Structure 1
Amino acid sequence: MLDPGIKEAKYINSPETPVYHKGRHLYGIFENRDAVRRAGRAVLVEGELDAISSWQTGVKNVLAVKGTALTSDQVRLVRRYTRNVSLALDADPAGWEALERSLPILEDHQLNLRVITFPAGAKDPDDIAKSDPKNWRDLVDKAVGVYEAIVEETLARVGFQTGEQKKTVSERLAPVIARIKNPVEQDHWINTLAKRLEVSPDSVRRQISASKSGLATSHQPPATSHQPRAPRQETLSKYLLSLILQSRFPLPAGLGLRWLIPVGIRQILELYNPQLSLADFRAGLPAELHQLFDESALVELGPGPDAVSDTAWVETEIADTLRDLERLWIKQEIRDQKANPGLLSTLLARLNQLEAAEG
């Protein structure tokens, strides 16, 4: 029998297993993906109960990250359906720390992030949605920019009246502002923070400069001559190969094999015949390509077990992946072709077409 005097935890973390990795899944992605598409935005919450309660209020474009640690695999799942995310993690220090940890991952995947802030005393989306459904819907609609949310929360939590408080605020916010890539947006937050702390913008800039050395040491991998190009391009190339093999789609007409790395992917697709079974096609491949083929043919794809049977989903995924691959290739070519004005103009025009089609 259950002891009524024992307070049960809302969530019990289950261990990961060889076939189940929490960081590769989003609760509700299969059921709510159409709602995410229609809304043009995904609302990310922490736990399953948060997602269920939100859905019951009418906010159905909701997905749960199954914990506070948002992963690159989860971000790639979201990116299939929208580039816009509203994050609603728990209103506790762990939730805000998770938000700051998620920023580089979200920005690396070019997602637009807003934050749903909670009123004083509110704990999580589940509690708000159950006690006041309309309030939850309003909070979702009034989500604020991520940097505004982080700055305001830090000022409120730490305070900014004394010199010691201002020092703590600047030390905590400098690494966050340092990561802002757009110089105009970064300058805005430098000036905003300086005004709130009643210090000069140069003081904030010096603090940011000091923090950058620490960021470079602790967060950035060592530079190599090949690094700028490989990771994202290789991930997309392998994903495209998996989509084509598992769906048995013919090769897309607009595919440029030169966009793909490693070279083994190009070799497999040059030999690809959708009329053959996977087993027969594999048998005809050179032995050195078998491992790459096996990895691509067996990797789990999509929000559900039957995703590769969904023609519309596969076509959208292939088109989006091709666009991203071509855009990466063009950007690399632009860097390599600075001395050729004619080709540079052609590449820039094509890049603008891709950006316009995506927007």
Structure 2
Amino acid sequence: MNNAKEEVRARLNIEDVIGEYVHLKRAGRNLKGLSPFTDERTPSFMVSPEKQIWHDFSSGKGGDIFTFVMMVEGMDFRQALEHLARKAGVDLTLFSNGDGRTSKRRARAREALKLAANFYQQNLVKNSVALDYVVKKRRLNRQTIGDFLIGYAPDKGDALTKALEKKGFSKRELSDAGLTNRFGGDLFRGRMMVVLSDGSGEVVGFTGRIIRDDPRAPKYLNTPQTLLFDKSRYIFGLSQAKEAIRKNDTAVIVEGNLDVISSHQAGIKNVVATSGTAMTIQHLKSLSRLAGRIRLAFDGDRAGVNATERAINLAQEVGMELEVVSLPDGVKDPDELIQKDPNLWQMAIDKSQPAVDWVIARYAEMENLKSAEGKRRFSTIALRIVRSLKDPVEQEHYLSVISEKTGASITALKAKLSNEKVAEHQLKKTKVDKEKPQPVQDETEDILAGLAASEKSVRRWLAVISGEMLDGDSARQLIGYLRKNPDLELSEVPLDLQKIEQYVKIVQLKSESRYANWEQKSLDEEMARLVRQITIKHRENKKNQLLTQLREAEASGDEVLSQDLRQSLNNLIKEKM
């Protein structure tokens, strides 16, 4: 059932599920709200979208998406899994009886896709027409062809199907991989093939660009929805772009996959695409784990403006900064601009403007702002955007912009803004009785473990902490691992710590919440204080243990043992921190 659990977890965002029960507000990289388990007045319930975990400081509870639903709905694990599977659209019958049927089908689909990618690459080299199209018309170099695994699908009915059937694949397995059409033949024919890879670089599908114009065939053809490919979540080029996105704290989103490829070839690598689908909340949430800013390079026509307005609403929900990249007049897409001069594309990115400014300016161009009707229509649309903004200062700024464009007073605009009531989000009721917040327990070990996991610079202090000083098994295991691996980044939980994965993520979340704005010097001093506390506590426990043993030795008349214990006590008392 682990495969089912992971499939459900992959399809749902923890903040969306918890947000049905708790009003969550952005708090740095995390989200915060009032605990659903206690009657606290100050929010201490934290959710980490990045780690997909939650922790409630007021009750000491924490866990993942499944433990939360189990607690708020009073369900056991199986019930919570079924509840969340329905929400995620996962068919649990495919995972029944633990036979791993879906896992095997996914593995076979991955294998077929990998072989298909090799097949297409080999056919590109063999076909001079396809090679000319890729190298001369698309101007792609050898490095780019290799980076994006670009190939060619032969213009025959079943070339790939026959090749893979010879390797033991069935029609069903090729269909699972999204490689065949409804007649069982090749889905892709006569096309330049570009691999669609997941975040780790594994092939999950293809996009094919026809190389000979045919009015009966679509210019682009993508892999359909499969066991491996979910187009509502897929971001093209993410595996190649994620390091550049993280480094720049910015992701540039373009409309076409070939725009991404051209941009990467030009050295501008923090560029991705949504593969021909409308932008979704899942797209932005995936990117929010890498960067805090998104720049959109969409068309300036009405469709592009509408798409950007929808993106503004999504970005507000996720808590990301959104900007728009405008291309020079007469240039239809980034690929065309890059072919003219890659520097022009970089300049366009650098000159991006806030999305709200861009959308309001576009709508203003579409209306006659000298007429009452034009002012009414424009103000209605512009105020709709302002209403979606969560920051009151930002709202005030754009009210001034709209006032300047229409000549209407801010008082009149505020009146119009307030006339349209927006329904508040209704929270689901939990099935738990709220308790009083729990008194704070001694969490020194967890705090120290979390700080060491989050900050490599303080791990030198762990040299004085031995395993016997720690009471908790999880803290002992994590701290022992960090002592052996002082330079390791814990952005992902390593294999050796998988058994305590949830513990590792929760203590990291606690640490991020506690030390978010601390300077390096203060963190070092805090680590020294925590180590001192643990050392003092360990000495105190050891002293009490020796005293108990001494009383027992004296009561039994064992003078030799009593003398040894007195000596150990004296040595312990003389020890200095």
State the TM-score, normalizing by the size of structure 2. Answer: 0.40
Aligned positions of 1:251-270 closer than 5 A: 253-254=449-450
Match of 1:25 in 2: 234
Q: Write the distance in 1 (CA, Å) between the matches of 2:270 and 2:316.
A: 21
Match of 1:160 in 2: 369
Aligned positions of 1:46-125 closer than 5 A: 46-125=255-334
Deviation of 1:80 (Å):
2.2
The one of 487, 492, 507 equivalent to 1:314 is 492
Q: Write the distance in 1 (CA, Å) between the matches of 2:399 and 2:253.
A: 28
Q: Write the distance in 2 (CA, Å) between the matches of 1:320 and 1:39.
A: 28
Amino acid at match of 1:114: E
Question: Structure 2: 5+ residue runs without aligned partners?
Answer: 1-154, 156-189, 191-211, 431-446, 452-471, 478-487, 495-500, 520-577
Q: Does residue 532 of structure 2 align to residue 354 of structure 1?
A: no
Amino acid at match of 1:185: E
The structure richer in helix per residue is 1
Deviation of 1:223 (Å):
4.0
Q: Write the distance in 2 (CA, Å) between the matches of 1:132 and 1:98.
A: 27
Deviation of 1:312 (Å):
5.4
Contact 1:90 1:125 in 2 (8 A): no
Q: Write the distance in 1 (CA, Å) between the matches of 2:503 and 2:327.
A: 38
The one of 222, 231, 235 equivalent to 2:426 is 222
Deviates more, 1:313-322 or 1:149-158: 313-322
> Secondary structure of 1:17's match?
coil
Query: Judging changes above 3 Å, is the alpha-carbon distance between structure 1 residues 200 and 159 closer, same or farther for their aligned structure 2 residues?
Result: same
Deviation of 1:323 (Å):
8.7
Q: Does residue 356 of structure 2 align to residue 147 of structure 1?
A: yes
Query: Judging changes above 3 Å, is the alpha-carbon distance between structure 1 residues 222 and 192 closer, same or farther for their aligned structure 2 residues?
Result: same
Q: Write the distance in 2 (CA, Å) between the matches of 1:194 and 1:90.
A: 27
The structure richer in strand per residue is 2
Contact 1:26 1:65 in 2 (8 A): yes
Deviation of 1:135 (Å):
1.9
State which structure, 1 or 2, has the greater radius of gyration over its C-alpha atoms: 2
Q: Write the distance in 2 (CA, Å) between the matches of 1:7 and 1:204.
A: 51
Contact 1:86 1:114 in 2 (8 A): yes
Deviation of 1:158 (Å):
2.6
Deviation of 1:315 (Å):
5.3
> Secondary structure of 2:449's match?
coil
Match of 1:342 in 2: none
Amino acid at match of 1:146: A
Deviation of 1:94 (Å):
2.2
Aligned positions of 1:8-23 closer than 5 A: 9-23=218-232
Deviation of 1:313 (Å):
4.2
Amino acid at match of 1:354: A
Amino acid at match of 1:123: K
Contact 1:68 1:89 in 2 (8 A): no
Contact 1:45 1:88 in 2 (8 A): yes
Aligned positions of 1:265-280 closer than 5 A: none
Match of 1:337 in 2: none
Q: Write the distance in 2 (CA, Å) between the matches of 1:110 and 1:61.
A: 20
Contact 2:231 2:277 in 1 (8 A): no
Contact 2:236 2:273 in 1 (8 A): yes
Q: Does residue 332 of structure 2 align to residue 128 of structure 1?
A: no
Contact 2:450 2:507 in 1 (8 A): no
Query: Judging changes above 3 Å, is the alpha-carbon distance between structure 1 residues 253 and 26 closer, same or farther for their aligned structure 2 residues?
Result: same
Match of 1:334 in 2: none
**What is the CA deviation profile of residues 186-215 of structure 1, one whole-angstrom value per residue up to 9, with x for unaligned ones?**
11110111111111112221222234x2xx
Amino acid at match of 2:449: A
> Secondary structure of 1:177's match?
helix
Count of residue pairs brought into register by the alignment: 259
Match of 1:283 in 2: none
Contact 1:44 1:65 in 2 (8 A): yes
State the TM-score, normalizing by the size of structure 1. Answer: 0.61
Contact 2:450 2:508 in 1 (8 A): no
Deviates more, 1:127-136 or 1:159-168: 127-136
Q: Write the distance in 2 (CA, Å) between the matches of 1:319 and 1:147.
A: 41
Query: Judging changes above 3 Å, is the alpha-carbon distance between structure 1 residues 209 and 7 closer, same or farther for their aligned structure 2 residues?
Result: farther
Q: Write the distance in 2 (CA, Å) between the matches of 1:73 and 1:81.
A: 13
Deviates more, 1:176-185 or 1:11-20: 11-20
> Secondary structure of 1:314's match?
coil
Deviation of 1:103 (Å):
2.0
**What is the CA deviation profile of residues 39-58 of structure 1, one whole-angstrom value per residue up to 9, with x for unaligned ones?**
22111112211211222332
Q: Does residue 41 of structure 2 align to residue 41 of structure 1?
A: no
Match of 1:180 in 2: 389
> Secondary structure of 1:104's match?
helix
Question: Structure 1: 5+ residue runs without aligned partners?
Answer: 227-250, 256-269, 276-309, 331-349
Query: Judging changes above 3 Å, is the alpha-carbon distance between structure 1 residues 319 and 93 closer, same or farther for their aligned structure 2 residues?
Result: farther
Q: Write the distance in 1 (CA, Å) between the matches of 2:220 and 2:508.
A: 37
Amino acid at match of 2:308: L
